[in-house]
Amino acid sequence: MPDQMFDMTMLDDSYEKCLKCNACVASCPVTGATLDFGGPKHMGPELKRLVDNQQSIDDERIEFCTLCGNCDLSCPENVHISTLTAFAKALHTEKNGSNFRDFVLSNAELVGKMASAFAPVTNAAMKMKPMRKVMEKVMKIPEGRKFPKYRFKNFNLTFKNKVTGSKRKVAYFVGCYAMYNAPNVAESFVKVMNYNGIEVVKPRQKCCGVPMLANGRMKQARKNAKFNIESLLEYVRKGYDVVTTCTSCGLALKKEYLSIDGSPEAKELAAHVYDADEYLRMLYDHGEFNTHLAPIKHIVGYHAPCHMRAQGMGSPALDILELIPGFDIYDLGAGCCGQCGTFGFKKEKYAVSMKLGRTMAESVKNLDADYTVTECGMCKNQLDQLTDKEVRHPMQILAESYEHARHLQTV
Amino acid sequence: MEKALETEVAVIGGGITGAGILRDLALRGIRAILVEQGDLGHGTSTRNHGLLHSGCRYAVRDPEAAIESYHENLILKKTIPGSIEKTGGLFVKVPGDDDAYVDKWLASCHKLGIPVEEVPLSQVFREEPYLNKKAEAAYRVPDGAIDDFTLLIDVINDAVAHGAKTLTYHEVTEVLTEQDHVTGIHVRDRHSGEETDIHAQIVINAAGPWGMNIARMAGVPLKILNNKGMLVVFSHRFNKHVINRLRMPGDGDIFVPAHDVTIFGTTGKNTDDPNDFSLDRKEMEDMLAVGEALIPSIHRMRLIRAYSGSRPLYQKNGGHGSNGRDVTRGMALIDHGERDGLNGLITITGGKLTTFRLMAEKTVDLVCQKLDVHSPCRTREEVLPDRRVSDSFSKANLAPAARHKLMSWAGVRAPKFDAALQNEEGSQVVCECEQITWAEIETAIPNKGGFDLGDIRRRTRLGMGPCQGTFCNFRAAALAVEQGRADIKEANCALLGGITERQKGMGVVAIGETAKQLQMMQTLYQVSLGFKKEGNQHV
């Protein structure tokens, strides 16, 4: 088959609707922080119009696009801007190849498997100065950048599918982060579902592909999409709902697969995908949510990940956590954290990453809450880097509240 | 006080015909002045399809025009490389088109020696994904796309480089005669009001649709049929080749790729007024309905504007009732000395963009005969400087898209742009749709007076993209004031004029996105920038 990937003529013609209004430019976090990026309007719809059916133009500034999706949200014409920039990234990588660092960073799954297998060693190594100096020099990974820890007892090792025959059934798309770095998040999610009487199974799955898209490795991302669509659809057709605890994975399954895969199967799957909090909110709306939650008297700051907002579902984490008696949660309202997945691990993007994170860091400081809540593991990484507050996932808090409630009952 | 200029030949009309003549005269060493009432090419020469005919379109109905077109096609591809894109063309037969015509057409093309090659449909659909999948046959022909804007500017510049002179925004108010011969023309500067006599042995009327006005001034009869055609511009370039419908020439059967857009047309309606550039919605809708046969998704694609221009068709007998399509596209060279007893006046009209060089050659041959100059035509071989450059602009801090555009555009101006691009203002992209930098715009502003966004647009493509100048017209005007290239009053006036003109072309296609674009433009200018509604503020 000819390289269909860059034949976007039929794939996405939403660029034709662009009115050049600049709403996307105004809402782009990166454009606000640096002039080194050409802005979403130019790198997306504008460039696409100039190359469609014509000679392609490679613009290396596309590397600065984080695929955060704020442009898509802001567009009054529903131009699929981040889809267009994802393809511009793919074109750039196709023409220039990806360097070793970007190859490694975009392989979150492989890295996760290996790093967790030697977890104590990996974690210690990442804290060793000489090691980091070498990494900065050889791989252009900034010495000062914190890395998420890897867990030896990853979720793959600990979780066993348990079929209970409940009315609602969940096929859990774990994602690399909860699998290898934060198995506690995954375990908490399973607990929360069990407290709601819902069985959880873990289908065969690969990395959702978002880190690959961000590094222009479109072919690999499409391969993974195909695998996941097939694997997850099997469950969907058996009556399972697909639920994610990572907002980037959620966005991929709901939206990216529609554009990079585009098959009817991708569409069928997308209609059955929920973010974990969104799923619980849905249960609540149907009167099926277990509200037996013990009070937690904490003051908490909530950071909304870009990929959560890009799903266009409101703020389900806030909606659900507010059901916990005494829980006092405030939206930090600080926009993009600046980690932006693999972006913040790159030396040449580090300054921009730090600059972007400043608003969030200040917001956390001003609120001075007990801890911070966010769904996204990468946002957590930046919060860990820039603030001294503990960072937790909504599922961890819910699980704690449910457990506490059961404890109170049994005592 | 009245000035007077002295020359051998005065050329009236700054369209491509006049420009071609001016260059031909200059290359043969004949002194000449060209006079144009507005900007160069403001009439027909920038209001056409930009199609370099292979001649195939006229193969059946008008073999003479066909063979002329084909020969010129070959010459222009060689001599004007910078303004011609060798896209190639396709003639496509769709269901319902007459089979007998196809046979006649093939036979005629063969007889005329125009190379036509049948292309397998599977290949055509791969190359032209938007083409009607029900097409029954397709033939490859040597059509091309002409950038009529750059062509005109480059031809004029070459003439000027060879000693010719041009006066734009100069209107002819009188043709000076003495007994049985012309002695020159009287012109008025439309900016300053200054009047000038231009004494010349020969006056050439190359005024196109305005040609009858000139003839009237000279008191000679002339019948030109002004046949107004409407064209529309699509927001992106969706075809690689010129796509023609394989049938007897009619309305709405040609799609021409032009830079980053596709131009589709055309219609033909006779009009009495050469200044009639009106646009009719019904006419456009009828044309689009016909175009659907070639490009079925035509109604789903975004149109950014429409425009119209008149073909000056010559009618020997001055007969009425013609619809224009059956009048020859051939040229008419009239020696008014021979025909009407007024020596020294020549009218050249009819013809096509594709044959402009030949029209000039024939006209200047006649001039030479009259002036007793023995100098052969040089435009068959003499090559105009190319627009394409390589290895330039590598030092400038430019978006790759803007660099890409400059590389196919800058031509002999490349060193000048390169220098201007070194400073921050120069490398600013002012028009984003067409990727035009301030360096290019600045070069297009005349040194004294006459800051006009239309004139800049014709030289740079400013505001020719989907947003139709919503943002760049304002930016260009503001930068011109900031850089001391225009005063505020001038800039305001130019801005209002520029926007009004853009809105006219958008209004007729304003459905869907373009309706929204138009609303946004009106809101920005009337609410955010406080411009009054059209007309109220004009000075």
Pairwise CA distance, residues A70 & A46, whole Å? 17
Helices of type H across A252-338:
257-260, 264-270, 276-285, 306-309, 316-321
DSSP conformation letters of B471-537: THHHHHHHHHHHTTSS-HHHHHHHHHHHHHHHHHHHHTT-SHHHHHHHHHHHHIIIIIS-PPSTTTT
Q: Which residues of B touch A (CB under 8 A)?
A: 129, 235-240, 260, 301-302, 399-401, 404, 432-433, 435, 466-467, 470-471, 513, 516-517, 520
Q: Is the pLDDT of residue A8 over 50?
A: no
Q: Do B466 and A20 touch (CB under 8 A)?
A: yes
The owner of tokens 């554009």 is: A259
Q: Do B400 and A59 touch (CB under 8 A)?
A: yes
The partner residues of B410 in beta bridges, in order of sequence, read: none
Q: How confident is the model at residue A157 (pLDDT cuts 50, 70, 90)?
A: confident
Three-class secondary structure of residue A1 per DSSP: coil
Pairwise CA distance, residues A161 & A180, whole Å? 18
In angstroms, the separation between the Cα of residue B287 and the nearest Cα of chain A is: 22
Please report the pLDDT score of residue A5 as a whole number: 45
Q: Looking at beta carbons, which residues of chain B come within 8 Å of A3?
A: none
Q: Do B238 and A18 touch (CB under 8 A)?
A: no
Topology annotation, domain A4-96? Fumarate Reductase Iron-sulfur Protein; Chain B, domain 2 (1.10.1060)
Q: Which of A311-315, B293-297, B525-529 has the lowest mean pLDDT?
A: B525-529
Q: Is the pLDDT of residue B532 over 80?
A: no
> What mean pLDDT comes out for the span B67-95?
97
Is A150 within 8 Å of A123 (Cβ atoms)? yes
Pairwise CA distance, residues B458 & B150, whole Å? 8
Q: Is the pLDDT of residue A3 over 50?
A: no
Measured between CA atoms, the residue of chain B closest to residue A58 is B400
Query: Tell me, what amino acid is at A207?
Result: C
Is A203 within 8 Å of A235 (Cβ atoms)? yes
Q: Is the pLDDT of residue B321 over 80?
A: no
Mean pLDDT taken over chain B: 93
Can you tell me the ipTM of this complex?
0.91
Measured between CA atoms, the residue of chain A closest to residue B519 is A19
Q: Do A77 and B516 touch (CB under 8 A)?
A: yes
Q: Do B238 and A21 touch (CB under 8 A)?
A: no
Structure tokens at A64: 């600065």
Three-class secondary structure of residue B401 per DSSP: helix
Please report the pLDDT score of residue B397 as a whole number: 85
Give the length of chain A: 411
Cβ-based neighbours of B443, under 8 Å, separated by 6 or more: B413, B416, B417, B420
Cβ-based neighbours of B307, under 8 Å, separated by 6 or more: B47, B230, B231, B233, B277, B279, B505
Which of B193, B192, B194, B187 lies closest to B166 in space, CA to CA? B187
Topology annotation, domain A155-285? Rossmann fold (3.40.50)
> What mean pLDDT comes out for the span B225-237?
96
Q: Is the pLDDT of residue A2 over 50?
A: no
Q: Is the pLDDT of residue A341 over 90?
A: yes
Q: Looking at beta carbons, which residues of chain B come within 8 Å of A55?
A: 404
Q: Looking at beta carbons, which residues of chain B come within 8 Å of A21?
A: 520
Cβ-based neighbours of B319, under 8 Å, separated by 6 or more: none
Which of A168, A189, A191 lies closest to A177 in space, CA to CA? A189
Pairwise CA distance, residues B419 & B403, whole Å? 14
What tens digit of pLDDT does each residue of A20-72 get?
999 999 999 999 999 899 999 999 999 999 998 888 899 999 999 999 999 99
What tens digit of pLDDT does each residue of A214-261 get?
999 999 999 999 999 999 999 999 999 999 999 999 999 999 999 899
Q: How confident is the model at residue A348 (pLDDT cuts 50, 70, 90)?
A: very high
Please report the pLDDT score of residue B323 as a whole number: 57
Q: Do the domains A155-285 and A299-410 sit in the same CATH topology, yes or no? A: yes
Per-residue burial over A39-59, b if 16 or more Cβ lie within 10 Å, else e, is bbbbbbbbbbbbbbbeeebbb
Q: How confident is the model at residue B318 (pLDDT cuts 50, 70, 90)?
A: very low
Measured between CA atoms, the residue of chain A closest to residue B523 is A21
Q: How confident is the model at residue B281 (pLDDT cuts 50, 70, 90)?
A: very high
In angstroms, the separation between the Cα of residue A212 and the nearest Cα of chain B is: 24
CA dist B539 → B170, B447, B489, B534, B536 (Å): 20, 22, 9, 12, 9
CA dist A317 → A87, A112, A320, A401 (Å): 31, 26, 5, 15
Please report the pLDDT score of residue B450 as a whole number: 84
DSSP conformation letters of B299-352: GTSPEEEEEEEEEEEE-SS--S---STTS--SEEEEEHHHHHS-BTEEEEEE--
CA dist A322 → A36, A202, A243, A367, B267 (Å): 41, 28, 21, 18, 66
Q: How confident is the model at residue B325 (pLDDT cuts 50, 70, 90)?
A: low
Write out the CATH class of domain A299-410: alpha beta
Please report the pLDDT score of residue B371 as a whole number: 97
Pairwise CA distance, residues B513 & B109, whole Å? 42
Pairwise CA distance, residues A18 & A42, whole Å? 11
DSSP conformation letters of B5-74: EE-SEEEE--SHHHHHHHHHHHHTT--EEEE-SSSTT-SGGGSS--EE--SGGGTTT-HHHHHHHHHHHH
Question: Residue B300: how many CB atoms within 10 A of its CB?
Answer: 10
Which of B99, B82, B75, B40 lies closest to B385 in space, CA to CA? B82
Structure tokens at B6: 């002295």
Please report the pLDDT score of residue B330 as a whole number: 78
Q: Do A16 and B237 touch (CB under 8 A)?
A: no
Question: Residue B523: how many CB atoms within 10 A of its CB?
Answer: 12
Residues B101, B102, B105, B107, CA torsion sign: negative
Pairwise CA distance, residues B44 & B55, whole Å? 20
What tens digit of pLDDT does each residue of B457-509 get?
999 999 999 999 999 999 999 999 999 999 999 999 999 999 999 999 999 99
What tens digit of pLDDT does each residue of B286-304 get?
999 999 999 999 999 999 9
Please report the pLDDT score of residue A199 as a whole number: 94
Percent with pLDDT over 90 in chain B: 89
Is A21 within 8 Å of A39 (Cβ atoms)? no
Question: Residue A324: how many CB atoms within 10 A of its CB?
Answer: 24
Ramachandran category for residue A382: left, alpha or beta (phi over 0 → left; psi -120 to 50 → alpha): alpha
Rounded to 5 degrees, φ, ψ at B348 are -125, 125
Domain spans in chain A, listed from the N-terminal domain onward? 4-96, 100-139, 155-285, 299-410
Pairwise CA distance, residues A406 & A196, whole Å? 13
Give the length of chain B: 539
Q: Is the pLDDT of residue B213 over 70?
A: yes
Pairwise CA distance, residues A312 & A310, whole Å? 5
Q: Looking at beta carbons, which residues of chain A come within 8 Å of B435?
A: 50
Q: Do B399 and A59 touch (CB under 8 A)?
A: yes
Three-class secondary structure of residue B223 per DSSP: coil
What tens digit of pLDDT does each residue of B438-465 get?
999 999 998 877 899 999 999 999 999 9
What tens digit of pLDDT does each residue of A88-137 get?
999 999 999 888 899 989 998 888 888 888 888 889 988 889 989 999 99
Please report the pLDDT score of residue B49 as a whole number: 96
Structure tokens at B180: 């049985």
Structure tokens at B116: 């036509």
Q: Which residues of A touch B (CB under 8 A)?
A: 9-10, 16-21, 38, 41-42, 46-47, 49-50, 52-55, 57-61, 77
